[in-house]
Structure 1
Amino acid sequence: MKNIEIYCHNTRSKHSYPLGTSLLEISRDLDIKMKNTVCGAIVNHQVRELSFCLVKPKQVEFFDVSHPDGIRMYIRSLIFVLYAAVKEVYPHVSLRIQKGISNGYFCELTGFGREITDKDIELVKAEMKEIIAKEIPFIKRGLLTEDAVEHLMQEGLEDKAQLFEQQGHLFTSLYFLENLGNYFYGHLLPSTNYISNFNLEKYFDGLLLRIPDSDNFDKLMEAPKQKKLFEIYEEHKDWAQLLNVSTISNLNEFTLKKQGGDIIKIAEALHEKKIAEIANIIHSRNSDIKVVLVAGPSASGKTTFSKRLGVQLAVNGLHPYQISLDNYFVDREHTPRDEHGNYDFEALDAIDIGFFNEQLLELFRGKEVQLPKFDFHRGRRYLNGDKLRLKHGDILIVEGIHGMNPRLLTDVQEKNTFKIFISALTQISFDEHTHISTSDNRLTRRIIRDSKYRGYGASETIKRWPSVRRGEEKNIFPYQENADVMFNSATLYELAVLKKYAEPLLKQVLENQPEYMEAMRLLKFLSYFKPIDDNEIPPTSLLREFLGGSSFVY
Structure 2
Amino acid sequence: MAEYKLSDINRRAQSDAPEFIAECEARYHAQVVHVADVIAENSRQKPIVLINGPSSSGKTTTNDRLFRALAAHGIHAETISMDDYYRTIGTYEVPWDEENEVADLESPNCMDLPLLGQHLKQLVAGEEILVPRFDFASRTFIPDTRALRLDEDEVVLIEGIHAFNPLIVGGLSQSAVCVYLSIASSVEDEDGMHLEPYMLRFLRRAMRDSLFRNSPVEDTLRQWNSVRRGERLYIDPNREHAALSVDTFLPYELCILMEKLDASLRRQGEGLRRAGLAPVEQALGRVADIDYAAYIPEDSVLHEFIG
Q: TM-score when scaled to structure 1? A: 0.51
Contact map agreement 2:104 2:226 (CA 8 A) in 1? no
Alpha-carbon shift at residue 481 of structure 1 (Å): 2.9
Q: Unmatched 5+ residue regions in structure 1? A: 1-232, 238-245, 549-554
1:214 corresponding residue in structure 2: none
Which stretches in structure 2 are left out of the alignment for 5+ residues? none
Deviation at 1:405, TM superposition (A): 2.6
- 5 Å-filtered alignment, 1:315-464, equals 315-332=72-89, 333-338=91-96, 340=98, 343-383=103-143, 385-410=145-170, 412-431=171-190, 434-464=193-223
User: RMSD of the TM alignment (CA)?
Assistant: 2.4
Output the amino acid matched with 2:77: P
Q: Which structure would you say has the larger RCO, counting Cα contacts within 8 Å and 6 or more residues apart?
A: 2
Distance 1:517 1:359, change over 3 A: closer
**1:515: which partner in 2?**
271
When residues 530 and 293 of structure 1 are mapped into structure 2, their CA distance, relative to the original with a 3 A threshold, is same
Structure 1: distance between partners of 2:125 and 2:268: 57
Distance 2:88 2:231 in 1: 22
Please give the per-residue CA displacement for 1:245-301, whole angstroms capped at 9, x wherever unaligned. x301112222332x1221110110111111101100111111211210111111111
- Secondary structure of the corresponding residue to residue 79 of structure 2: strand
Residue 295 (structure 2) pairs with residue 539 (structure 1): no
Is the 1:336–1:344 contact (alpha carbons within 8 Å) kept by the matching residues of 2?
yes
Match of 2:194, SS state, is coil
How many residues are paired up? Answer: 301
CA contact (8 A) 1:335 1:343 kept: no
Q: CA deviation at 1:375?
A: 2.5
Q: 2:33 aligns with which of 273, 276, 281?
A: 276
Q: Which residue of 1 aligns with 2:228?
A: 469
Render the CA deviation track for 1:378-428: whole Å, top value 9, x for unaligned: 433113632212112111100110122333233x33121000111112243
DSSP 3-state at the match of 2:215? coil
Please tell me whether the aligned partners of residues 80 and 159 of structure 2 are also in contact (alpha carbons under 8 angstroms).
Answer: yes
Q: Does 1:249 align with 2:15?
A: no
Assess, with a 3 A threshold, how the Cα gap between structure 1 residues 349 and 408 changes in structure 2: closer, same or farther: farther
Identity of aligned residues (%): 28
Residue identity opposite 2:285 in structure 1: S
Which of 512, 526, 545 aligns to 2:284? It is: 526
1:111-157 Cα offsets, whole Å, 9 max, x none, are xxxxxxxxxxxxxxxxxxxxxxxxxxxxxxxxxxxxxxxxxxxxxxx
Counterpart of 1:497 (choices 256, 264, 280) is: 256
Distance in 2 (alpha carbons) for counterparts of 1:339 and 1:375: 25
Give 1 or 2 for the bigger CA radius of gyration: 1
- Cα deviation, residue 376, structure 1: 3.4
Q: How far apart are 1:458 and its partner, in Å? A: 1.1
What is the TM-score normalised by the length of structure 2? 0.89
Larger helix share, 1 or 2: 2
Change in CA separation of 1:408 and 1:342 when aligned onto 2, cut-off 3 Å: farther
Alpha carbons of structure 1 residues 529 and 306: separation in structure 2 relative to 1, 3 Å:
same
Q: Hey, what's the Cα distance between the residues in 2 that align with 1:515 and 1:432?
A: 23
- Relative to structure 1, is the Cα distance of residues 545 and 346 closer, same or farther in structure 2, using a 3 angstrom cutoff? same
In 2, are the aligned partners of 1:321 and 1:397 still within 8 Å (CA)? yes
Distance change (3 Å), C-alpha of 1:351 and 1:433: same
Q: In the aligned structure 1, how far is the partner of 2:186 from the partner of 2:196?
A: 10
Which ranges of 4 or more aligned residues in structure 1 deviate by more than 6 Å? Answer: none
